Structure formats: C-alpha cells, structure tokens
Amino acid sequence: MSAANMDEATLPETEEPSPVIRRKLRKNWKRLAPLEGHTGRLFDTMQHTDNRTLIALKSGFTVDIVNADTKKIYVRNVPLRMLWHFCGVSVLDRFIPDRNGRPDRLKIPVKEAEKSGVARVMRYMRRACKAGSVRPTGELRVPPSLAAGIETIRACRVFGLHADADRIEDVIIDEWIGNEAWYMTDEHVELIWDGYHGSLRDTVFGDVIVWFVLTEVQDKSHPLAEEIRWMLDQDYYETLKARVTEEVQRKMWRLEDHDQFLGRCQWERAEQMRKEEERADRLLRGYHQGPLPMSNEEQAAFHHGTSAKALGIEIMQAGLWDGTGVGALQDVPVRSLEHPRAGADTPVPKSLGRY
C-alpha cells in the first residue's frame, strides 16, 4: 500500500461545519403607563369600558337624531344605550320630549348644533362599540377646516362631551389661529361673528376676532383691513364695533399679548356669570338684609333723584310688592342637579330600563 493510500485510509473524514442558528431576539416592549383618572373624553370612556359592555351598547332600542324645527334627520338608528353610556342621562332628559312611551326621536335645537358635527361625533361612538380591531386608536380627530372644527365643538357640547370640545377648541385657538402663519380673512370674521346664530360672540372665538381687529385692522397692516373696516360699519356687525370701541377706550389690550388678552376676556366673562348666579341665589333665598347687586343695565337706568315714594309705586306697578312690607319675589328657575356620567360598571337606571 502506497503512502498516499495509507494517508487517505487513516485520516478521518472532515466534518461539515454546522449551520449557525440565529435566534430572534425577544423585543422588549415599552410598558404603557397606567391611565390616569377619567377625563370624560370619548376615547378615555372607551378605554375604561370592557369589550363585552361596548359591544352590548349597540343592542336595544334606537332613535333618530333630528332637527327640532325642520324635523330633518341628522343621524338614523342611534342606540339609546350608547348615548346613555357616553353622554349621560341628561341628554335623554333634555332632548326626548315624551318619556312616557317609547322615544323614537332625539330633537336637537337648530341653534345648538349642525348635522355634520352631530354625524361626526356619532360615527366615533359607533366605531368605539365595534370589535377591538376596528375601534379608534386615538382621540376624536380635529377636522381640517375651521368651520368643521367649530361644528364638531358645538356637537360635543350639545351631547355633554365638554372635555372633547375643550381639547378641539384649544387646538384651533392655540395651534391654528394663534400661529403666526394663520391668515385671517373676512370670511373667517363673518363665520365666527355672524354665523351659528351669533352663539360664538361671547366665546373665545369672538375674543380672537376682537383681538384681530385691534391689532391688525386698526393700523391697516392686514391686506384686507379696508374690507373688514367696511364690514364693521354695517348694521349686523354693530356688536363687534361696540366691543372693539370698548377695548380701545379701556386701553388695557395695549399692555397684553394674544394669550393675556384671551385670558382676561375669559376671566371677565366668568366673573360676570358668578355675579349673576349670586344675584339669582340671593333672590331665591329671599335675603333682604342688604341691597341686591345691580346689573349694568339696572345701574345705567337707575336715577339717584328718585324719591322713595315714587320708587315704591314703580315696584308695586311691576308686581314686586303688594304693599304689606314684604316684596313678592320673582320666579327664579331652579337648576336640577346633573346626573353622574355612566362608567363601565354602572348599572342601567330603572328609568331607562325600557330603552
């Protein structure tokens, strides 16, 4: 046997290298922080409700949401249980006129909400009651236009969803209109001040229009300043012109920036509402130890030269005094207590059992 053959016989066969096993590393998922207290938003309410309860909200009787004046249908076949869970019982009490029989319509006043905003809110609620794979993964979306955003805010407030309305309002006021790139037009002024039956004039949207006129229209720095100044001379913008004139006379806005001006206007509105509530409460309780606070209109109409006898005659003619020494109080409506919002484990009240 040759040396070459001996080497081939004695050398062991070379083993093939074993394949490298690449193990997939386990991904470390970031643990989500626990949800804080209930904020009242639709998305938060959905997350705090178990799956079986959400799916069960679609069962039961349904109603059509309609315009209270024209009877035009906004949304069809809305489950009552879904409305009660997300909005609360107060919505049913306010917009369903007949509680004796089975309600079939939810009548929304024409001055409080529009069809597009109501439909947008109802779509989000319906998606929240579907299977987990198709449910919303975030908050109620802010619409891309100013008009659609305002209509969504109004619809949220009608259904008691004030947390969602405040969130969308903050985005529009701070990130849209408050941005330097925002271009205010005469159409925006008309939409906010003259649109929606004038309901936005005493809100933060009306304050934004007043600030815009004070800072950009008065000094004619805006390209549409002449057009907007012409609008202020029209009869239907008389209230806006009066509001601007009042701010010019007070001169406080010159020492404020955009946010400070909006904050002051909001504080003044809250203070005025507080005084009106205190006045109503004192009238309701019948306190006569001290003089009742007078409104601005009453102070303007009051004359210090009026004698006590003439003042007493005026009170008797108004029906506030019968001459016995104790004045008759005017009827002041009593505000009912708000019902707590429904939670995930809150049982359906007996008054809603038929729904």
Residue 130 sits in a domain whose CATH number is 3.30.710
Q: Which of 269, 293, 326 is the last residue of a domain?
A: 269
Q: Do the domain assignments include residue 57? A: yes
pLDDT of residue 344: 44
Mean pLDDT of 311-329: 48
- Biggest CA–CA distance in the chain, Å, is 149
pTM of the model: 0.69
**Same structural domain for residues 188 and 124?**
no
What b/e string do you get for 279-294 counting C-beta neighbours within 10 Å, with b at 16 or more? Answer: eeebeeeeeeeeeeee
**Same structural domain for residues 153 and 120?**
yes
**Same structural domain for residues 112 and 48?**
yes
Give the closest residue to 268 by CA, choosing from 322, 227, 210, 313: 210
Q: Do the domain assignments include residue 199? A: yes
Q: Which amino acid, one-letter code, is at 94?
A: R
Q: What is the token pair recorded at 339?
A: 């019902």
Is the pLDDT confidence value at 338 over 60?
no
Q: Which of 218, 235, 269 is the last residue of a domain?
A: 269
Higher local confidence (pLDDT), 293 or 58:
58
Q: Is the four-CA dihedral 142, 146, 151, 156 of positive or negative sign?
A: positive
**Same structural domain for residues 72 and 126?**
yes
**Same structural domain for residues 145 and 80?**
yes
Q: Do the domain assignments include residue 165? A: no
Is the pLDDT confidence value at 271 over 90?
yes
Q: Do the domain assignments include residue 276? A: no
Is the pLDDT confidence value at 99 over 70?
no
**Same structural domain for residues 189 and 144?**
no
**Same structural domain for residues 113 and 194?**
no
**pLDDT per residue as tens digits for the range 158-209:** 999 999 999 999 999 999 998 888 999 999 999 999 999 999 999 999 999 9
R_g over Cα of the chain? 32
Q: Do the domain assignments include residue 64? A: yes
Confidence of residue 294 (pLDDT cuts 50, 70, 90): low
- How many domains does the structure of the chain reveal? 2
Show the CA angle centred on residue 234, arms to residues 233 and 239, nearest 5°: 85
Show the CA angle centred on residue 268, arms to residues 265 and 269, nearest 5°: 90
d(Cα 203, Cα 279) in Å, to the nearest integer? 22
**Same structural domain for residues 246 and 144?**
no
Higher local confidence (pLDDT), 89 or 216:
216
**Same structural domain for residues 187 and 242?**
yes
Q: Do the domain assignments include residue 289? A: no
pLDDT of residue 5: 53
Domain interval for residue 64 = 42-158
Q: Do the domain assignments include residue 226? A: yes
d(Cα 217, Cα 6) in Å, to the nearest integer? 107
**Same structural domain for residues 196 and 240?**
yes
Q: Do the domain assignments include residue 89? A: yes
Q: Which of 234, 250, 269 is the last residue of a domain?
A: 269
Question: For residue 276, how far is the Cα from the chain centroid?
Answer: 23
Mean pLDDT of 227-237: 93
Q: Please say whether the beta carbons of 193 and 205 come within 8 A.
A: no
**Same structural domain for residues 152 and 219?**
no
d(Cα 253, Cα 255) in Å, to the nearest integer? 5
pLDDT of residue 160: 92
pLDDT of residue 329: 42
d(Cα 70, Cα 9) in Å, to the nearest integer? 104
**Same structural domain for residues 203 and 255?**
yes
pLDDT of residue 90: 77
